Structure formats: C-alpha cells, structure tokens
Structure 1
Amino acid sequence: MPNNEHFHESYRQLEERMKALAEVEGDVFLPNLTPEGPVEYVLICMEPSLGQWAHSPEDARSKVEAGFRNFLFSIEDFILHYCARHYLCEAGEHYHITDLSKGAMLVDHAAHARNQRYDRWYSLLQEELDLVAPSNAAIVAVGNAVAQHLERRKFQRPFTQVIHYSGQAAQARNMAVAGQEDNFQAFRDSVSLKEVVATAHGILSESGIPAHFREETLSRLAKSQLSLSRQKLIFHYKRAFEAIHS
C-alpha cells in the first residue's frame, strides 16, 4: 500500500476510535480535516463547541454526516488558519489543527470535569500526534487549559502556548499587546478582512466539504469585521508563530 494510502487508512481507523469515545461520553464526534500526510506543525485546541454551527446534538450529527468539519465555521477559526498559513508555515510546509477532546458540547458544559475528560482523550491525542507529527514537528497549545493539561501529563515534546481564539479570551488579547502598543499600531491595518476571507475560500475549496456549507460560511464571513480585539489576536499569533522560527 502506498505511504499516503497507509496514512489515510491509519487516520481513518484512529477517527473510528475517537468517534466511539465521543459517543460513550454522550457527545457528537466532530472530525477535523484529514491531513494529506505528516505535517510540520500541529495546533492543539480544546474541544468543539455546539451552539453556533449546530443547535442540538441531532442537528450536529446531521451536519457531520453531510460533510461538515471542525475549524471551518467562525471568523476566529479562519483567523487561526490565516495566521498558521502566513506566519507559521514556510514554503512547502503544512499544519494540522485538532482538539484535545473531540466530542462537541455546549460551552457552558465544557469546563465540567475537563481534566478527567482530557485524561480519557489523552492517549488518542498521542496516537494522533505519533501519526501526524514527526518528532521534529512543532506543537502549539492553543489556550491555557490545553497547555496546563500537557504539563500535568508531562507531555514529552516541547510546545509553544498561545491564547485561545475564543471571544471569551478577549482580556488575554489585550494583555498580549501590553508593552507592544507601538508595534501593534504599526501592524493593525496590515491584515484586511478580505485577506482572511480569501484564505477561508482557499481552505474551504481544498477541504472538499459540500458546496452549501462552503457558500454559507463565506457569506457569513464576508459580513464579519476585523475588530480591534481580533486585530490583537492576529498580532499575538503573528509574534508567537514567527518566534517559533527564531
């Protein structure tokens, strides 16, 4: 079996075990985009949220079965993609975004027994990294909860911590520019909504998700704004991602 076919079959089998665990926990498994092969960078986020892209578990299952995938909905999702493509990856490099636990749930429920849930998912995360991330791949922990859990589990790889892209972490965005106000002012208008949407268009086209999901998402993104808070988020990711190369 060619290497890429072996990779995809291994990833498919891993996803089956992820789906089984999500269902045991009473949640809806939300798959990531399947990487084409091993990557240079893996960004580990927290857990998928319900409430925006799906209004109920039944709605979520229906959309997943129809081809919906994780990290392809909000402007913040695509800010993370934009920054990974423009500030993290160099020419010919690739990245993979995943969650530590992969069962979608309401934000209000996510903090409940999070450490115990992350413990149940940790071995599957390690398998995912063993498959997707060679030993020299850079790991990025997106959010305090992920970084703290990796530290608690004595994660064996070095990693870079960045703030989570959720709007609930708005105060962290302000703190990220503290002491960098002049640099931020010089940077803030260098990225436009049009550029982020163009990146989203490319990702959605490459993803193979159904056209109606793609068009709905692009229409919604075009009505978004790169607010001051979101500009601070991009600035933070730019500095953190570029530092990985230094």
Structure 2
Amino acid sequence: MSRIAARFARLKQEGRGALIPFLEAGDPDLETSQNILDGMPAAGADLIEIGVPFTDPMADGPIIQAASRRGLVAGATLDRVFDMVRRFRTRDDDTPVVLMGYLNPIESYGPERFCADAARAGVDGLIVVDLPSEEADLLEAHAHAGGLDIIRLVAPTTDAHRLPVVLNGASGFIYYVSITGVTGTRSASEADLVAALPRLRAASDLPVAIGFGVRTPEQAAAAVRVADAAVVASALIDTLAGSLAADGAARPDTARLVLEQVAKLAAGVRGARTLAAADI
C-alpha cells in the first residue's frame, strides 16, 4: 500500500479528513522552505504538496506565481526539489509528499529519469497541471514503475462525458478544483461543494481533496465535511510573503508564522466532523 493510500485509510478509520498544506520549493530561499517542509507534520499536515517552480505557471494566480518566481531566483531546480524531499525523509518516513508542477520541466529532465529520481527521493504522488489525460502515457508507465501515484485534477466544468477520461489511470486521490479560474482568487461555497461531490463519488472510489479556494480554518473544515481532504496553498504563501523583509529575504519568524497557520488550519480540519456530529 502506498503512503497516500495508507494515510487516507488511517484517517478514514479515525473518522476525520486530511489537511494538505502547500509550499513552493525554494520560496523565499532553499533553507527556509526546507524548514517549513520539515515542520509541517508536527504542525498538523496529513499530506504535503510541494510546488515545483516554473516560469509560466498558468493555473496559478498572482500569489503562487510570485512564489514560483522567488523559488526560481533562489535556485530551486528539480534536483534541489528532490534533495529537499530526501532531507525530509531522514526525519519523516510516513507523511505522503506530492509534487505539483508543469510538464515542461519534466520533459526537459526526461520523464523516465524524473519518475525514477522522484521515487528514490521519497516522493509519493505527482500532479502535472498541464498534462492532458490523453497524453498521460508519457508518465504513466514510469510513474507506476516507481510506485508513484498520478493524481488527476477535476474541475466544476468537467462534464459527465469527460470525467471517466480524466480519471482513467488516476490513483492516490482526486484533486477537485473547486472554482473555475486560477488559484487564490475566490472560494466555493459549502453548498457548491455538496452539490459537486456526488458525481465524483459515483465515478471513483478514490479519496477527494478540495483545493483552489480553501484559505481559512472554517473553509478547510467545510471542505472535509464534504470531501476527504482540504488543500491550502495561496493563504499560506500570503503569510510567507507578508513576513518577508523589504528585499524579499526571510525574517527569523517566517517559517514559524507559516507553521502556526498550518496548525490553525489543522485544528479546523480535525474538529470539523466532531462539531458537525454534535450539531445533529
């Protein structure tokens, strides 16, 4: 059983949802992002999503675009992202790690080499935002050889005809993009999420994580009352960016502020279903 499957199975037994916080590799520098990554499990992260900086992150809004630029300036490369995960694995062999990125760097690196190096580093899953399902064979065989889950994105606009195509070959979990548009711009209502989830449940037995618009502990709690996990990205990057010095450098409290926010989000997620049950 993969780390991702094992973690969701354990959480299901515990009767709670998962928090999946996001960090951009190298933002604002390699050391600070490593410290944030290393501190996330103790702060309450159940799985962790690491963004791979890219020059043209088309699915991301201005907050994560800026984080990606900072990561690139700091020298974040695929090799350095793998090194981050290797260092993390010396401290934590249980928390699943998912890389989120774009196809161009993977093609430049070489898909087979990329999947092999990711697996050796301790990566568990891949989200490739701009890889169409029809072209997933570019990665699928190599990912499966390394035991990597390929996590698919489903949007509100994914219709009944398209959904089975998108989910063909998916594993790990489904990432439900809860809004149309880019990250960090607005949020879906709990009613929207309640209406959207049945078709995903009917199409797949995989856990469902909700992202693209989850910013607060209350919104994260609403997400896990409906689905299996909440992904929080832009809100954490906002906190990080707000902590930086005028020249963009990390301050002594940058990592601490981000991790404190992760802890607040985790508290919201962990209490969500308990509070819902108490209200019945």
TM-score, normalised with respect to structure 2? 0.30
Which has a greater percent of helix?
1
Q: Which has the higher contact order (CA 8 A, sep 6+)?
A: 1
